[in-house]
Structure 1
Amino acid sequence: MEFLTNPFDWWIEPFTVNVFMRNALWSGLLAVLATSTVGTWVVLRGLSFLGEALAHGVLPGLAIAFIIGGDTTIGALIAALVMVTGINLIRNRSPLPVDTSIGLLYVGFLALAVVIMSSSSGAYSGDLNRFLFGSITGVTDNDLIRQLIIAGVVLLGVVIFHRAFLVMTFDEAQARLLGLRPRLAHATLLALLAIAIVASFQAVGNLLVFAFLVAPPSAAAILVRRIPFIMVTAVILGSLAVVVGLLISYHHDTAAGATMALGTVVLFLAALTVRSIAGLYNVRMAS
């Protein structure tokens, strides 16, 4: 119970005396800012499977960039944008359901990543955990600058395309009649989603970024109604998960990325519980 009996040492001191903890905090908060804003549209439009597919679709780019000695972030971004392009092409040209097309690309990219990893030298396997589960305590100043730029791009895109995303979420035909170009808006949403994922994989890793993308917006959607409020609430909840997750990881020597991701799921369950209790109370008051 040190977090209650000695709050300064538990809550504040880790960030004041450790540079790596301050960098990790900023990295986590920037990841939340990017994923929660675009993740709100992912949740509202029922695109969670697409988000998971894109999160894993960056793996071939990571693997190739690592093998040739390139920038893994650029490799991940290229792979994500290639997958986004493929999803759009299949969506527009294939008679198959969208989730089937996404599933095929998901399996294809994941299989390609496994082939690349298995054929590379043994030195690659040492960095596999870093790609899959993140290395937030190893974030550098250059990483933070890159994350800041990417988060800014995501926020700008969400603001510019807010009206198109809003109308398209509820009525794609109406968006077309209003001249909002739903296909372009959908492609933009996928691109922003890919960028947000790439900006966050260093913080929580390829396997856990999906939690950041979906859990805070889902919890926020349970608590509030208006979309701007959902985004703000999602950022607040995600930030809380980052702070508490980092501190638990620091004090109890757990995996930082996994602890933060688990925190987002716990917050969702807490929001769901609060909503259920409030619903029961309202029913009793009405009767």
Structure 2
Amino acid sequence: MDWLLDPFQVSFVRQALWAGILVSLICAVAGTWVVLRGMAFLGDAMSHGMLLGVALASLAGVNVLIGGLLSAGGMALGVNVLSRSRRLSQDTGIGLLFAGMLSLGVIVVSHSESFAVDLTAFLFGDVLAVRPEDLAGLAAALAVTVLAGAAGHRLFVALAFDPRKAHTLGLRPRPAQALLVGLVTLAIVASFHVVGTLLVFGLLIAPAAAAALWARSIPRIMLGAALLGTGSTVIGLVVSWHAATAAGATIVAVAVAAFFLSALADVLRRRIPSEVSR
């Protein structure tokens, strides 16, 4: 068992473990609704569209979290406005904002000779460099996520399964959609500096999607996603320590692998009874 416990004898790996657990819990709540609502493309677009705000904040000497939050918030607002158009589908609006903000971010980065290291951290994160104040920020983000998820639970359920019925029941689906986009924004902004924007999308989607194949209720999907995300964090850090691989990428790779294993097990579960019945 020493090989399993040895990595966590080091303080920065323990902090990475706590950071990964907090991110997993945040993503479990938000990711469940992303999967159920079919908002994967929006989550991907928002995680990449933050490059513009992060680049401008870095060049201005401002906290990159503020830049990322403003950029993601701007994209969320833009999506909300464009989704009201009857001539454009929501995917079209998301795609346009995604391409526009990402291209502007690349332009800003290309004019800076000293941004390469920061860009690498933005894309891939550095979970092993997490500081105590980062853990405090993640804990605060988790508290807000849980409160927002609990407050909007009934609205989110109606929105995910029958938006038209939600409207007839007076549940106001548009504000519910805006709140849900805000929840996803918070999860992405709070998590990107830990695992990076290219990887936060995997941690947001994979555990919830894997749990959704087996769980029969929304709370169970969230619980399953939280357990899978936490397990992926532990296994990813152990593998990263012994194999000398990038910690954040390894964590997400384990989470995605868990989804495919879950999907395979689900297929086998469905085939076996049919074969027995023959």
What range is the shorter-chain TM-score in?
Answer: over 0.9
How far does the alpha carbon of each residue in 1:102-157 deviate from its partner, in whole angstroms, 9 at most, with x for none? 0000001100110110112x221122111100011000000110111011111111
* Structure 2 match to 1:179: 170
Alignment partner, residue 211 of structure 2: 220
Question: Does 2:81 correspond to 1:89?
Answer: yes
> What residue identity is the alignment partner of 1:72?
V
Superposition pairs of residues 1-287 of structure 1, within 5 angstroms: 7=1, 9-15=2-8, 17-93=9-85, 95-120=87-112, 122-287=113-278
Q: Distance in 1 between matches of 2:4 and 2:250?
A: 16
Looking at structure 2, the residues matched to 247 and 111 of structure 1 have their Cα atoms a distance apart, in angstroms, of: 37
Moved over 6 A (4+): none
CA apart distance, 1:171 = 1.1
* TM-score when normalising by structure 1: 0.95
Paired positions, count: 278
Structure 1 residues 188-220: Cα deviation after superposition (integer angstroms, max 9, x where no partner): 000110110011112210111110111111100
RMSD: 1.0
Which amino acid in 2 is paired with 1:181? R
- Displacement, 1:286? 2.7
Instruction: Using the TM superposition, give the Cα deviation of residue 93 of structure 1 relative to its aligned residue in structure 2, in angstroms.
Output: 3.1
What letter is aligned with 2:228? L
Distance 1:28 1:112 in 2: 30
* Alignment partners' CA distance in 1, 2:161 and 2:46: 23
Q: Aligned pair in 2 of structure 1 residues 78, 94: CA closer, same or farther (>3 Å)?
A: farther
- Listed one character per residue, the Cα deviations across residues 218-270 of structure 1 (whole Å, up to 9, x for unaligned) are 10011112111011001101111111011111111101111111111100011
Letter in 1 for 2:122: F
> What displacement does 1:285 show?
2.9
The 1-side partners of 2:194 and 2:239 are apart by: 16
Deviations 1:24-80 (A, max 9, x none): 011111111111211111111111111100111111111111111111111111111
1:108 alignment partner AA:
G
SS of alignment partner, residue 213 of structure 2? helix
> In the alignment, residue 190 of structure 1 is paired with which amino acid?
V
Q: What amino acid does structure 2 have at the position aligned with 1:132? A: L
Unaligned runs of 5+ in 2: none
Distance 1:73 1:218 in 2: 27
Structure 1 residue 94 displacement after superposition: 5.3
* TM norm structure 2: 0.98
* Alpha-carbon distance between aligned partners in 2 of 1:90 and 1:165, rounded to the nearest angstrom: 20
